[in-house]
Amino acid sequence: MIDSPFLISAGFLMGIFILFLIRHFLMNTRKKPEIIIGNAQSIGARSEQEDSFTSVINEHGVMAALADGMGGYSNGKMASSLVVNLFVKEFTKKRQIEPVDKFFHDTLLLSNEKLLEKAKEKKTGTTMVVVVISEGYLSWASVGDSAIALFRNQEFQNLNQKQIFQTMLEKEYLSGHISKEEVLNNPKKKRLTNYIGHENFHEIITSKRAIKLQHGDRIILCSDGVYNSITEIEMEKALMKNLPPDKAAEEIINIIKAKNIKNQDNATIIILEKNNSK
């Protein structure tokens, strides 16, 4: 029996069509990442970029870290890079990081020791914010004045308290010891009260309890060059556009750039988005 050319062609086309359907099915059923990460950065009006940042995904979960080297001291970039790289090393090499608070404390204390060794040559320091997302739960830690926030249901929730003199002044105001004007007009209100590389390095602020993330939640880490240059309302509007995290981060940095602020600080932002309901 001689096969018909028409039947051969039809069979070939049918095979191609079936392969196309299989490929389409696999692409649409492929598991999307639980956490989507985006970031953006600007040097501003500074001569050097002293912010450092990273994100790591491994069997422990997702870690993102941001450090703002202190521009008032020499080697700010060295300080921020050292701390960020140390967190990557510890997060990667440890067989387990539970409890996460202990991982934060141990690595921050080690970071401080390393920077104090460097400070024997030249004084240096850095802030630090770091988050770990594991099994759908968010844990975080901070030192200094960089920020961590949660954007949920179109609203901002600031998660960490900034370690600056203004925080102490506000406590004095709430206790009735000073006036609101004294808080607002104090020239030292933005001065850091704690940072990595400080001889009297003390309080590490951490999440007291891990936060169960919801689908669509966005976690924002940023240096003070971001939140001092853009209002919360402006940032909310940018995030409400529902752009992917990388585009949203770029949008926020572009808003800051468009303002042409004199003496604009380095600005760095990381956005992590919870992608499903796991």
Question: What is the rounded CA–CA span in Å between residue 76 and residue 68?
Answer: 8
CA 227 to chain centre: 13
Q: Mean pLDDT throughout 81-107?
A: 93
Q: Mean pLDDT throughout 204-231?
A: 96
Q: Which amino acid is residue 171, in one-letter code?
A: K
DSSP strand pairing (137-143 vs 211-212): antiparallel
pTM of the predicted structure, to 2 decimals: 0.85
Q: How confident is the model at residue 278 (pLDDT cuts 50, 70, 90)?
A: very low
- pLDDT tens profile 127-173: 999 999 999 999 999 999 999 999 999 999 999 988 877 787 878 88
Question: What is the rounded CA–CA span in Å between residue 226 and residue 147?
Answer: 9
Q: How confident is the model at residue 10 (pLDDT cuts 50, 70, 90)?
A: low
Q: How confident is the model at residue 111 (pLDDT cuts 50, 70, 90)?
A: very high
Q: In this model, does residue 57 exceed pLDDT 70?
A: yes
Look at residue 242 and tell me if it is in a domain. yes
Q: Mean pLDDT throughout 177-183?
A: 83
* pLDDT value for 248: 98
Look at residue 268 and tell me if it is in a domain. yes
Question: What is the rounded CA–CA span in Å between residue 178 and residue 143?
Answer: 26
Percent of the chain predicted with pLDDT > 70? 86
Q: In this model, does residue 6 exceed pLDDT 80?
A: no
Length of the chain: 278
Look at residue 187 and tell me if it is in a domain. no
Q: In this model, does residue 25 exceed pLDDT 70?
A: no
**What b/e sequence results for 95-134 when a residue is b if at least 16 CB atoms lie within 10 Å of its CB, and e otherwise?**
eebeebbebbeebbeebbebbbebbeeebbbbbbbbbbbb
Look at residue 119 and tell me if it is in a domain. yes
Q: Between 3 and 100, whose confidence is greater?
A: 100
208 closest CA partner among 159, 162, 147, 274: 159
Look at residue 103 and tell me if it is in a domain. yes
The answer to whether 69 touches 144, Cβ cutoff 8 Å, is no
Look at residue 84 and tell me if it is in a domain. yes
Domain range for 112 is: 33-161+193-274
Look at residue 72 and tell me if it is in a domain. yes
Q: In this model, does residue 123 exceed pLDDT 90?
A: no
- pLDDT tens profile 227-259: 999 999 999 999 999 999 999 999 999 999 999
CA 142 to chain centre: 11
Question: What is the rounded CA–CA span in Å between residue 36 and residue 86?
Answer: 23
DSSP state of 69: B
CATH number at residue 253: 3.60.40.10
Look at residue 2 and tell me if it is in a domain. no
The residues, any chain, with a CB within 8 Å of residue 145's CB and separated by 6 or more, are 68, 127, 162, 163, 164, 190, 192, 224
Q: Mean pLDDT check: name the lowest of 50-64, 69-83, 234-248.
A: 69-83
* pLDDT value for 178: 84
223 closest CA partner among 106, 100, 78, 126: 126
Work out how many domains the chain is built from and give that number. Answer: 1
- pLDDT tens profile 82-94: 999 999 999 999 8
CA-angle at 183, arms to 144 and 233, nearest 5°: 65
Indicate the average pLDDT of the chain.
Answer: 88
* pLDDT value for 90: 95
* pLDDT value for 110: 96
